[in-house]
Amino acid sequence: MSKRVLHDRYFKQAKTEGYVARSAYKLTEINQKKRIIRRRNRVLDLGCAPGAWLQVAQEAVGPQGSVVGLDLQRVRRDFGENIVTIEGDAEQYDPKELIAAGVSEPRLFDCVLSDMAPSTGGGAGGSGDHFLSIRLCDVVLNMVPHVLRPGGNLAMKVFEGEEYKPLLIATGRYFSKVKGFKPQASRDASREIYIVGHGFRNP
């Protein structure tokens, strides 16, 4: 991959502004346009490493909110008292332990985020990557009824392809409003798009 692609404007901006990755600007734009995270919210970030979305979510919820991050990889940076990071597999991790993380009394989340993606050669997301990303979204949707409060919101990444529309329909069974959104910070070559759901309703 060329140096030009890796070190683009968002990469440099992240370094300057103290974010651990350029992906911070994806969630920033999603939240600015879609208002999925509010002050004092409790947020679950699936696939949270290296921690850029944790940083953005922490800013959005403020000091009286909290964020729980889960990833197969260990997050090696300490983001503060209202951020809890857990090393584990989203498909196997007990939802009850997630809603109990970092609080004296278990509380459902106001928003679930997922930037999970299969490992790719450059983020473009070919056909194989598309189906793997669909499977990761299925993991998220299976977890949502156990961790998200009624009326809560969702943003999850998927690579576009033939199963994208069925995934939108499936997500719509859980949320009153569902739409795809591609942030400007997504690379032009990437087929990634974020499914944003508002108003969780448990079918």
Catalytic residues: 157
Q: Within the chain, how many helices (H) and strands (E) appear?
A: 7, 7
Q: How many CB atoms lie within 10 A of CB 147?
A: 19
Residues 6+ apart with CB under 8 A from 114: 45, 46, 47, 90, 136, 137, 140, 154, 155, 156, 157
How far is it, in rounded angstroms, from Cα 80 to Cα 59? 11
Instruction: Give residue 121's Cα distance to chain centre.
Output: 21
Ordered alpha helix ranges (H), 47-203: 52-61, 95-100, 127-147, 164-172
